[in-house]
Structures are given as structure tokens and as C-alpha cells.
Structure 1
Amino acid sequence: MATLKDLRPVLPILIGASVMLSLGMGVRQSFGLVMPSLTRDIALTVSDFALAMSVQNLAWGFLQPVSGALAVRLGFRPIMISGSALYIAGLGLFAMAGGMTEVMLGGGVLIGMALACTASAISLAVGARAVPAKARSFVLGAITATGSLGALLAAPLEQTLTTELGWRAGLLGFLALTVFMLPAAWIAGRVDRLSPPVPATGDISAASPRAALRAALRNPSFLVMTAAYFVCGMQLLFITTHLPSYLAICGMDPSLSAGALGAIALFNVFGSLFFGWAGGHWSKPGLLGGIYIARSIVLACYFVMPPTPVSTLIFASAMGFLWLGVGPLVAGSVVEMFGLRWQAMIQGVAFMSHQVGSFVGALGGGLLFDALGSYDLAWRLGVAMGLTAGIVQVAFALMRPPPAPTPIAA
């Protein structure tokens, strides 16, 4: 493993990418805290709010391959700066919302576009290009870990401002945080000055975007990983969107929601570091399957009984450890299969599947709740699909050898 001395020349790039990711994801993961007061104030339903968050995730997912391809053509800095500016604009419109249109455009479309330019696929691609191969898996885990710290700041800030001054003040507090994404993106953009990565023999670095996508979509290991990633997104967005509402229905103190999201963020630091390290020693696809299985077991154990403050914090801590550890594993797998040049674009294709799952988790949870008056069927479906995805991913990892760079299709 590379030492801190080896990484010192690129530390500003890594810190910039981490801060940008941390602020963007911390704010986005805390949107569920505004749902109860926002929906009451401007007469929206739970499924209305869930639809806006689902559109956000679809915009993020479908634009992720586009932003990844543009980063190769234009450089990472202009993409990240543009995304940070879109995030600020989206929060401003969201905070002024008087109805569904502003919530959809600001909280849904604009912030979804912003995340495609600033979140995990772009940040991890920046980190992967900046460090040597021997340090890559751990550094990707470290970026993911520090990227989760924003929720430790964003969730309590939003909860305090919303409780004292209303949900609009909470969103304006988010806006103040995201202003700092601009200098972070500028610093992370120094990666554009580094020498282009040297392609491994047989990888697709020399391919056109179309040929690179074709190679990815013909790779069985990538397709299985991408399909399992759908379920990953479904589970995570169901939790972040609907856990605050579920706890409110069960009569829990509103501060428990912020505490649970904070616990998820804190333990995600440890989980991301662990899985980043583990990905350098064991099968990344096998570890991914293990995460999906473990998440499903934790989800079932929590929802099978009425929540308490203690059980909620234990659930949040366990889920947090398993939260974004998938990030360095997916990113590392894409690099192993396809090389560095088109990593952000190909990882964006996998992430598109994740975001379609996010759409289903957020909107489906809201629709099932509105129809049935409870989240029982939603969490049961999440558990069943998570176990299935995890078992298939592990089985496929055991049946196939470690991925080798995919040659360019003739």
C-alpha cells in the first residue's frame, strides 16, 4: 500500500473531491427530514414528495454516463464547477417552493443534474486517476468515507433550523453549505493537469465512447453487478426518504430521525474504509453480494418489531456500516474490468441502474404507504429483493474468475 508520502502531491485533489462529495451527499441524504413539515405546509402528499426525490434520482442516474463522458472530453473541473452551481440553484428554488412545480424542478431535476456532475462516480473517478494502483482501493474507500461526513453536519443543522424557523430555513441552511462545493470542485479539478493514465494491455482506454459502452454491456460480470446495483439503490432511498415519516407515524421524537441519519453517516465512515481496504485483498463482487445480504437481514430485524430509540440507533449504525461501502467496490471493479479512461462513464451506466432502483424505492414506498397506510409490504419487498440480489452476486463471483481488462470489440 502506498504511504502518505507517496500521496502527498495529490492530497489537495483528494481532499477537494472528498469535500465536494461530502457536502453534496450530506445535504441530499437529509432531504427526508423536511418532508413532514413541507408536505403539511404546502399541501403535498407523501407520494408527491417521494415522486420529486425519485425524479432527482432518475435525473442523476441517466445523466451520470453523460457527465462521465464529458469529463473525458472537457476535463473534470468544468463538469464539477457546473454541477456545484446547479446544486445551489436547485436548493434556492426548492426553498421558495409554493407547490409541486418548484419542489419537482428544484429538489428533483436541478439537484439531480448537479449530483450527476459532483457525486460518487465523478469524485471516485478523480481519486482513481490521482493515485497509483496499489493504493487505489483504499483511497476510493477513504473518499467515500469522508464523503459521508457531510450528513453529520447537514442533518442536525437542518433539524435545528426546521424546528426553530421552518423548513424553508432548513433548506437555506443547506444552500449555505453547498456554496463551499465550488472551491472544493476547483481544487479537485487539478486532476486535469496530471498525466493521462497509462492503459493496461487490452483495456478499452483507446476506444471510442460507443465502443467502450458496447464492451461494458457485453461483459457478464458487469451486467450482474449492474443488476444487483438496482436493488442497492432501492433499499437505500427507501430508508432515507421514508425513515423519518415512519418514525413520526410511530410517535418517535422528531430529533430521532436526525440522530438516525447521523448514525448512518458516522458508521458509513468505518464501513467505507473497511470495504475499501477489503477490496484490495478479496473479491470485490463477492464483497458486494455480502453487503446486500447483510443489509437485508438488518432491514428485516428492524422492521419486524415496533421501533424504539435504541433499536433505531442500532439499526442506523449497522445499516451505516453497510451503506456506501459499495462505492469503492463498484468503482474498483469497473477499473479492473475496463481501465481508467472511461471509468466515470461506465460506472455511470451501472449507477443508472442504481438510480432506477432509487426511483422505485422512494416512489414505490410512498405509493404503497398511501394505498395501504403502512410500510409493511414495502420493507418486505426490499428484504426479499436484497437477499436475491446478494445471493446471485455472490454465486456469480464464485463461478467466474476475477475480472480481466475487457478488450475492444472488433
Structure 2
Amino acid sequence: MTTSTLRFPLWLMVAAGCLIAAINFGPRSAMGFFQLPMITDKGWTRETYSLAMAVQNLMWGVGAVAFGGLADRFGTARVLSLGAVTYSIGLVVMAWAPEPAWLQVGGGILVGLGVAGSAFGIIMASLGRAVPPEKRTMVFGFATAAGSFGQFFFSPLSQGLIERFGWHDALWALAGIIMIIPLLSIPLQGKPAPRAIGAVDQSVGAALSEAFGHRSFVLLFTGFFVCGFQVAFISVHFPAYIRDLGLDAKWGVTALMLIGLFNIAGSLGSGFLGMRVSKRIILALIYFLRAVAFTVFLLVPATPATVVIFSAVIGILWLSTVPPTNGLVAVMFGTRYLAMLGGIVFFSHQIGSFLGVWLGGKLYDLNHSYDPVWWMGVALGLFAAVIHMPIREAAVPRLQGPAPAE
């Protein structure tokens, strides 16, 4: 292990981490519900809102690297609290925003950084240090599933708040809920103990050089871009897409609820499979099946039934990429810089998220259709399935010598 004796029982750490993941991911996954009421009230375009959400995703990626490094240095609880405060302030600024520039600042920059500082990447690094290597992927699955439960819970809650109080007050309410996170972060205090290589702890620069000089890490980094593109596009634009199909708005709520609900099973299943099946095979299969699901959904007539079936299928495949992806980083490099290196891989995910969200709005305004972005998602899914196959699921040479990896 890379840490000393745990300050709190493991079950309490896992429970607190899962609650934080749910509260963090829930409001962020509900941003799609705010698009139409906000732009209608403000007189803005879909591209305006999409750009803010794209910036949010990009800042989430930038913040994942920065906050991951801070958590490795100063401890998990402090970083989670800082992230929650930033997240809450961002939602308040978003609610107040008198013009698009402030929407970019609040809903884009601050919310993105806040989500990064209190997201499951930080939580996974903390939990990954607290459990044996053979159980990490399973625990990562629990944390990811908790985030999915947040999506399931906050989808109807956010829509209900919007309908009852309006989008402005709904954002204020979500900002208040986020401030529960600092209290929940207390059991996750602590930071990784330095792991000596010879007599000297590996530096940040050496860790980065090692990672980017490792072919499998580069392939993993590249493939996670695709996950971000697909997931973020659906999160932000699917409710509007369903309305464009002529279906009632309730099916947008139902769709995101089902995605969150079924991803609980998908994330847990992925986590358990990762202990028994090659993680690269799991990832390749997930991306291939996403491409198939997108294709079928686009080619069949749109009905409430097809929306429900698609949402259930894509829900199983939704964040089930996260446990094996983080598990591979831990296998390759250990847990000393897991938060930082996991954050770097996640940065690729968020570059994809930026493009998926922004292109969704941009191309819709140009073509009055989301179809081009859907087909991009199909092509990228096939690409990701292929590039995950050569990944080597093994520790780097320095962790294979006499010194134990943990």
C-alpha cells in the first residue's frame, strides 16, 4: 500500500466517496434541461449555450490534471472542498448571467473547474490507495455507478425544479446542494505517501515523461477522447434532439434517467469484469457496441419505445469505460501519481467532450439537424475499438523489479 493506516473505516470512505460522486455528477449531467428554457428566456442561440457547455467540459479536463496534482500533494479532502465551492459559485454566476460572456465564465469556466475538483477522478485515486490492487477496478465501478445514480436522481429533480420555480432558481438550488460535498469529504482525508525508486521518490516530471513515453498510455489517452465526444454530446443535446423529433419533453427526462439508471449496472458490471477479463478487451467492446447502438437508433423510426430502448442500451455503455480506464493507469504506473495521470487521461476525454458539445450546437445551427454529429460518433466509436486492442495490460519495468508495486 502507498498509504499508512487508514484514518477512517474503508466502508465509510467508500460510502462518502460514492455520495460525493453522485452529488457532483448529478447537476452537471442535468445541464441539458436548462438549454431550451434559458436560451428562450435570454434570446440566445443553441450555439451560445453549447459553447458554454463545451468550455465547461474543457475546463473539467484542465482542472482534472491540476486538481489531481494538488490532491496528490495536499490531500483529497482539501481539494474536494475547494472544487465544491468553485462549482457552487459557478452555478450562481450561471443563474445570474446577464449576457453570454458571463454564461461562459459561470457555466463554462467555474462549473467546469469545480466539477473537476470534486469529481470521481479525485475520489478514485483516494480509494485506489486504500484497497488492494486486485479490488481497485471493483471499487472504481462503485464510484462510477454512484455518479450514474446522481444522474438518475438529479434528472427528474432538476426538471421538476425548473418547472416549479424556473431555471434561475433551480440553478440556485443545485448550488446549495453542492455545498454538502465539503462535509462528506472528511473521511477522504490523506494523500499518497512517497514511493521510493531506489532511494529517491519519483518526481512529477519523471512520472509524466514515463507516461507519455509509454505506447499503451498514449493509446488509452487517445481512446478516451472518443468517450468524451459521445457522452457529452448526448448529455447536453439529447433532450433537445428528442423535442426536435416531435416527442414530448418528458421523454428527454426519461432518457437521461434511464441512462443514469442502467449505467449503474454497466459501471458495476465493468468494475467486476475488470477483475477477471482483460480491461483493453472490455473497452474495445464498449466502444464497438456504442457505434452499433448509435447506428441502429438513427436508422429506425423515432418513437418513445426506441428512445427508451436506446437509453437503456447506451446507459449500460455510458461510463462503464471509467473503471477499466483508471484501472489500466493504476496497473501500468501504480498509485503514486494516479490522480494526476488519471486526470491527464481524462483531459483527453474532455477535449472530446468540448468538440461533441460545441459541434452539436454549431452544426445544428448550420444544418438544423444533429445527424452529422451522430455519425461522427459512430465513426469515432469504431476507431476507439480498434486502438484499444494493442494496449499492454502490464506494469512499467520499474514496477516489475524486486521492489513491490505498492
TM-score (norm 2): 0.93
1:270 corresponds to 2:261: no
Q: The residue matched to 1:407 in structure 2 has which SS?
A: helix
CA distance in 1, matches of 2:382, 2:103: 34
CA distance in 1, matches of 2:266, 2:79: 29
Structure 2: segments with no counterpart, 5+ residues: 1-5, 400-406
Q: Superposed, which structure 2 residues align to 1:84-163 within 5 Å?
A: 84-163=84-163
Change (3 A) 1:406 1:370: farther
State the 1:16 CA deviation.
Answer: 1.4
CA distance in 2, matches of 1:290, 1:205: 40
CA distance in 2, matches of 1:106, 1:307: 35
State the 1:406 CA deviation.
Answer: 4.6
1:374 corresponds to 2:369: yes
1:334 corresponds to 2:325: no
State the 1:11 CA deviation.
Answer: 1.4
State the 1:24 CA deviation.
Answer: 1.0
CA distance in 1, matches of 2:364, 2:280: 33
CA distance in 2, matches of 1:9, 1:16: 11
In 2, are the aligned partners of 1:205 and 1:339 still within 8 Å (CA)? Answer: no
**Paired AA for residue 14 in structure 1:** V
**Paired AA for residue 347 in structure 2:** M
CA distance in 2, matches of 1:81, 1:378: 36
Q: The residue matched to 1:299 in structure 2 has which SS?
A: helix
Change (3 A) 1:9 1:186: closer
State the 1:197 CA deviation.
Answer: 7.8
Query: In structure 2, what is the equivalent of residue 288 of structure 1?
Result: 283
Query: In structure 1, what is the equivalent of residue 55 of structure 2?
Result: 55
- Greater shift, 77-86 or 12-21, is seen at 12-21
CA distance in 1, matches of 2:185, 2:365: 40
**Paired AA for residue 338 in structure 2:** Q
In 2, are the aligned partners of 1:94 and 1:103 still within 8 Å (CA)? Answer: yes
**Paired AA for residue 193 in structure 2:** P
**Paired AA for residue 341 in structure 2:** I
State the 1:177 CA deviation.
Answer: 2.1
In 2, are the aligned partners of 1:81 and 1:186 still within 8 Å (CA)? Answer: no
**Paired AA for residue 265 in structure 1:** G
Query: In structure 2, what is the equivalent of residue 3 of structure 1?
Result: none
**Paired AA for residue 123 in structure 1:** I
CA distance in 2, matches of 1:402, 1:108: 36
Q: Superposed, which structure 2 residues align to 1:8-407 within 5 Å?
A: 9-189=9-189, 191-192=190-191, 196=193, 206-394=201-389, 396-397=390-391, 401-407=392-398
> Which deviations, in whole Å up to 9, do the C-alpha atoms of 1:45-81 show, x marking residues without a partner?
1111110011011111112122111112211111111
Identical residues among aligned pairs (%)? 34
**Paired AA for residue 286 in structure 1:** I
CA distance in 2, matches of 1:337, 1:36: 44
**Paired AA for residue 107 in structure 1:** G
CA distance in 2, matches of 1:139, 1:291: 19
CA distance in 1, matches of 2:185, 2:57: 21
- How much is the aligned-residue C-alpha RMSD, in angstroms? 2.1
CA distance in 1, matches of 2:132, 2:336: 14
**Paired AA for residue 36 in structure 1:** L
State the 1:187 CA deviation.
Answer: 2.8
In 2, are the aligned partners of 1:264 and 1:317 still within 8 Å (CA)? Answer: yes
CA distance in 2, matches of 1:23, 1:174: 9
Q: How many positions carry a matched residue from both structures?
A: 394
State the 1:252 CA deviation.
Answer: 1.2
Change (3 A) 1:264 1:406: farther
> Which deviations, in whole Å up to 9, do the C-alpha atoms of 1:251-271 show, x marking residues without a partner?
211111111111011111100
